[in-house]
Amino acid sequence: MADDIRRIGIMGGTFDPIHHGHLVAASEVADRFGLDEVIFVPTGQPWQKADVPVSPAEDRYLMTVIATASNPQFQVSRVDIDRGGPTYTVDTLRDLHQMHGPKVQLFFITGADALEKILSWKNLNEIFELAHFIGVTRPGFALTDAHLPADTVSLVQVPAMAISSTDCRARVARGAPVWYLVPDGVVQYIAKRRLYQG
Ligand code: ATP
Ligand code: MG
């Protein structure tokens, strides 16, 4: 029966730190696609960011847990962190399928900027078999599936949040506020662990 199938959103990211742009995108897609849950998956060492220093995985994981704790539909997975090495989305999707068994449908949520780069991802054909892709709008980037195979991606407009982790890190480094860009608990975690001090 079709309603036995659990509909699970996957929100992959570096989450260094997680911010309200990520949370709104996940919440909006969950509503529009009738998802049962959204699993946030912080990356291990991100291969696209090999040249930029990234905060320790445990800090990024804990900030993601803090930010999502109050939403019963939101979960956090350690698969990419615990696998070790660079994170490839094909491995994330394979692992989540293995963990959840056959009765799931996965929806991989990605911002317009990441969607643009998707053709450079490893094992693209398999990736599209493992999950349906949902591209969401992000201020400053054009949302288009023009370069992608037909019917592999849905495009969704989400409330515009001109927030990036890069800007949050730069703000902390220069002593500017990140209140209301990231959840309160994340502001406090950043201060407690002295992240992004430059
Ligand atoms: P960084 O500046 O370090 O790259 P980021 O803000 O882009 O951080 P990521 O962890 O790289 O955050 O992004 C994870 C996912 O969330 C990506 O698919 C990205 O496109 C999406 N995303 C990030 N910020 C937004 C936003 N403000 N609106 C919509 N989608 C977003
Ligand atoms: Mg990014």
Is residue 107 one of the residues assigned to a domain?
yes
Q: How far is CA 115 from CA 79, 85, 174, in A?
A: 22, 23, 31
Is residue 41 one of the residues assigned to a domain?
yes
Instruction: Please report how the helices 57-68 and 20-32 are oriented relative to each other, as an axis angle in degrees rounded to 10.
Output: 50
Does residue 22's CB lie within 6 angstroms of at least one atom of ligand 1? Answer: yes
How far the first Cα of the chain sits from its last, in Å, is 54
Between the CA of 92 and the centroid of ligand 1 the distance, in Å, is 17
Residue 157: domain span = 2-163
Overall domain count for the chain:
1
> Which residue's CA is minimally distant from atom 19 of ligand 1?
111
Is residue 184 one of the residues assigned to a domain?
no
Question: The domain that contains 106 carries what CATH number?
Answer: 3.40.50.620
Does residue 108's CB lie within 6 angstroms of at least one atom of ligand 1? Answer: no
The answer to whether 193 and 60 are in contact (CB under 8 A) is: no
pTM confidence score: 0.96
Is residue 136 one of the residues assigned to a domain?
yes
What is the secondary structure of 42-60 as a DSSP string?
Answer: E-SEEGGGTTS----HHHH
Does residue 21's CB lie within 6 angstroms of at least one atom of ligand 1? Answer: yes
Q: Could you read off the pLDDT of 126-154 as tens digits, one per residue?
A: 999 999 999 999 999 999 988 888 888 99
Q: Write down the residue that tokens 């990231």 correspond to.
A: 182
Q: Could you read off the pLDDT of 75-129 as tens digits, one per residue?
A: 999 999 999 888 999 999 999 999 999 999 999 999 999 998 887 888 989 999 9
Does residue 55's CB lie within 6 angstroms of at least one atom of ligand 1? Answer: no
Is residue 100 one of the residues assigned to a domain?
yes
